[in-house]
Amino acid sequence: MDTPMDLEGKFALAKKSVDAKLGFFKHLTLFFVGNGFLTGVDLVTTPGLVWFYWPVLVWTLILGVHARWVWSGQDKG
């Protein structure tokens, strides 16, 4: 049987994991909104010059690192 201290520790780990996943989903939402905005700005202001894919590429790499960190268990203890 788990003692109250064991249960508190398990709860703390579960909360940390859920918080990390929520943080990732906030990042993912911001990724789509931000890159949609940048794409719109690019296509409206400089139709002959396409540059929006550079921030999308960099942000995708950063998002990938964030996802790997969250789902590989690196956010635990």
Considering just the CA atoms, what is the radius of gyration of the chain in Å? 19
Query: Looking at this protein, which amino acid is placed at residue 15?
Result: K
User: Are the CB atoms for 28 and 20 separated by under 8 Å?
Assistant: no
The reported pTM is: 0.81
pLDDT tens-digit series, residues 1-46: 677 768 888 888 889 989 999 999 999 999 999 999 999 999 999 9
Burial-class residue 47 by CB neighbours within 10 Å (0-12, 13-18, 19+): exposed
